[in-house]
A = this chain, B = another copy of it.
Amino acid sequence: MLTERQLEIVLSVVYEYIETGEPSGSRTISKKYLRGCSPATVRNEMADLEEMGYLYQPHTSAGRIPTPKAYRLYVDSIMQRKRLPHPVFRDWLSEMRSQRQDLETVMSYTSHLLGRMTSYIGVAAIANLEEVILQRVDFLRLGGETVLMVMILDGGIIHSRTVNISADVHQDLLDDLARTINSIASGKVWGKTKDILYTFLLKELEKLFNACRDAIAQMDMILSSSNYRLFTGGASHILSLPDFQDIGKLKAILSILEEEQVLVDLVERCSLEDGVRVTIGDENNSTGMNNCSIVTVSKRARGQKAVLGLIGPMRMDYERSISLLETLLKGLYK
């Protein structure tokens, strides 16, 4: 559909725009990327490319900037190339990992690191998959009919929630319950164990079971849904980017960052399968993110899904971002 030369021009415009942030004219493209063609030739091609929806002219006497369609072309071409791992952080990360910090610390740090290194917004998320393994559960009577339930999953994810149960149960009974559940389900895949657990509890602990039905249902709810732990970092850095000088856009993005659920949905949609995924502009149909791109890498392992991502302007440096994300994710699992 596109001639070789047209492709080259589109990619050059994208590359130039990512570098400089300025629209580029036919003269520049001709001089820097296509020595064989005169500016006039490039001009003609550019007019065609604009018609085809790859380039866009902010105003009559300006150069061309890429449309999302052009970015898509560019990103796809990058993805075919072989990528080198990002050199800097291998040592650093393996050290961090060897210190065996707890998961939350690592995730939080990683998101900040991502933000700081790129000036985009770093995202680090982790979710348990269907095969989640329960390590341990504890119930703690807070008073009245309220119980604090703390679940520790394989890999160190901690979920806590208060639940209301239908009777004022003594702490000793709760300890009994926890001990039973732990002995049956600890270290096992929840999905395969829970039915056994249910029937066992029904038989053995009838008196307890009624009161604690809610508690167990809540456990199941948390363990069975893909429950995300999500961290973002580096939001303050995007203010340095020329792309986000407009307060309006800024506000849209920051308010999304504050609504954790929206962000989780966004990240989830972007990481349906393992590997790199780039979502450009309004490909993520989320209001307020029209001018943003999202790059994610994700990986399933050990019953968890880990996602690292970057949210940046459409003209973000995709190549560097992808390589950085891949390196960090690999580092996390070394």
Do the beta carbons of B100 and A144 come within 8 Å of each other?
A: yes
Do the beta carbons of B156 and A162 come within 8 Å of each other?
A: yes
Task: Give the contacting residue for A162; candidates B101, B144, B258; CB below 8 A.
Answer: B101
Do the beta carbons of B162 and A100 come within 8 Å of each other?
A: yes
Do the beta carbons of B100 and A164 come within 8 Å of each other?
A: yes
Task: Give the contacting residue for A239; candidates B162, B233, B250; CB below 8 A.
Answer: B250
Task: Give the contacting residue for A102; candidates B112, B148, B250, B258; CB below 8 A.
Answer: B148
Interface string of A66-110 (1 = CB under 8 A from B): 000000000000000000000000000000000011101000000
Do the beta carbons of B236 and A258 come within 8 Å of each other?
A: yes
Do the beta carbons of B254 and A235 come within 8 Å of each other?
A: yes
Question: How distant is the Cα of A142 from the Cα of B136 in the complex, in angstroms?
Answer: 12
Question: Given the interface contacts A100-B162, A138-B138, does A257 sit within 8 Å of B236 by beta carbon?
Answer: yes
A97 shortest CB reach to chain B, Å: 11
Please, which residue of chain B has its CB at the minimum distance from the CB of A116? B258
Do the beta carbons of B251 and A239 come within 8 Å of each other?
A: yes
**A128 beta carbon closer than 8 Å to chain B:** no
Interface string of A249-291 (1 = CB under 8 A from B): 0110011011000000000000000000000000000000000
Question: How distant is the Cα of A152 from the Cα of B158 in the complex, in angstroms?
Answer: 12
**A52 beta carbon closer than 8 Å to chain B:** no
Question: How distant is the Cα of A199 from the Cα of B247 in the complex, in angstroms?
Answer: 60
Interface residues in A, total, Cβ within 8 A: 35
Please, which residue of chain B has its CB at the minimum distance from the CB of A161? B102
**A240 beta carbon closer than 8 Å to chain B:** yes
**A160 beta carbon closer than 8 Å to chain B:** yes
Please, which residue of chain B has its CB at the minimum distance from the CB of A112? B258
**A208 beta carbon closer than 8 Å to chain B:** no
Please, which residue of chain B has its CB at the minimum distance from the CB of A162? B102
Which residues of B are found within 8 Å of A136, using beta-carbon distances?
A: 138, 140
Question: How distant is the Cα of A239 from the Cα of B254 in the complex, in angstroms?
Answer: 9
Which residues of B are found within 8 Å of A235, using beta-carbon distances?
A: 254, 258
**A193 beta carbon closer than 8 Å to chain B:** no
7 contacting pairs across A/B (C-beta < 8 A): A100-B162, A102-B161, A104-B160, A136-B138, A138-B152, A148-B156, A150-B158
Closest 4 CB pairs between A and B? A236-B254, A236-B255, A100-B146, A239-B251
A100-B162, A100-B164, A102-B162 given; name 14 further pairs at CB < 8 Å. A100-B144, A102-B148, A104-B160, A112-B258, A136-B138, A148-B156, A156-B162, A158-B158, A158-B160, A233-B258, A234-B258, A239-B250, A239-B251, A240-B251
